[in-house]
Copies of this chain bind each other. A is one copy, B any other.
Amino acid sequence: MRRVTDGSRPPRAPSPRTRVRRGADRADYDPGTVRRILDAAMIAHVGVVTDDGPLVLPMAYGRDDDTLYLHGAVANHLLASAADAEVCVTVTLVDGLVMARTPFHNSMNYRSVVVRGQAREVADPDERLRALRLITDHVVANWDHGRPVSDADLRRTRVAAVSLDEASAKIRTGDPVDEPEDVAGPWWAGVIPVETRFGAPRPAADLAPGVDPRPPFAVPDGVGR
């Protein structure tokens, strides 16, 4: 993977198929940018090729350095249905609706990551345990507050890993970009911010007597920061 440590935006994609084709000026191949977007979002949409054509499913995920982890039923499906285990993992945070003077220049402000690569089954029990903790704690760190994990739990849970070697980010921010002749016109233009927030936690109806109805872990305000 291309390493950039000074925060500048590297101009080159890590592989030809990772190059952003539409809106290339919004592409960002800095691994730090890729990681920040992955850490800020909640779900990924994972694409595989099946005998019946492409299939895209939403999934939870976790990240460890330059590896993305997917798990359980979903990893099963993925490892079973992708003949060569080629996957595309896409994560999108929508930050705003961009309303231009003409709908043809409407857009969204967003941060997205596209990862292409092969899914690898995680066989090593230690890596699997670490991956499951990372997936569990990805949005809200709650692994340490539940019933201790058993060997049986671990044995029956498949985990798939995808390297971030072929990842690209794409980011749009700011105002609409209208045709110069439209800007002076009598039409509104601007941005409607979009925010994803968490509401107050609701304890389960069957919470055991004596258990504090407030969760024992911290819940952030929302996702995407």
With A45-B56, A47-B55, A56-B56 known as contacts, the answer to whether A190 contacts B208 (CB < 8 A) is: no
Are A108 and B175 in contact (CB-based, < 8 A)?
A: no
Q: Which residues of B have CB within 8 Å of A3? A: none
Q: Is the interface of A mostly helix, strand, loop or mixed?
A: mixed
Contact A116 B86 (CB under 8 A): no
Of the candidate stretches A4-12, A31-39, A144-152, the one touching chain B is A144-152
A189 to chain B, nearest CB (A): 4
Q: A42 on the interface (CB 8 Å rule)?
A: yes
What string of 1s and 0s marks CB contacts (under 8 Å) between A175-189 and chain B?
Answer: 110000011111111
Contact (Cβ within 8 A) A191 B202 = yes
Interfacial residues of chain A within 75-114, with CB under 8 A of chain B in the complex: 76-77, 82, 86-90, 92, 94, 97, 99-104, 106, 108, 110, 112, 114
Chain B nearest CB: distance from A224 CB in Å? Answer: 10
Cα distance A191–B205 in the bound complex, in angstroms: 10
Interface residues of A in 25-67 (CB under 8 A from B): 42-43, 45-50, 52-58, 60
- A132 near B: Cβ within 8 Å? yes
Q: Are B56 and A47 in contact (CB under 8 A)?
A: yes
Please tell me if A196 contacts chain B, counting CB pairs below 8 Å: yes
- Residue on B with the closest CB to A144? B103
Query: Which residues from chain A sit less than 8 Å from chain B, CB to CB?
Result: 16-17, 21-23, 42-43, 45-50, 52-58, 60, 72-74, 76-77, 82, 86-90, 92, 94, 97, 99-104, 106, 108, 110, 112, 114, 116, 132-133, 136, 139-140, 142-143, 145-147, 149, 153, 157, 175-176, 182-208, 210-212, 214-216, 219, 223
Known: A58-B90, A185-B208. 7 other contacts (CB 8 A): A47-B56, A56-B90, A102-B147, A183-B208, A186-B208, A188-B207, A190-B215
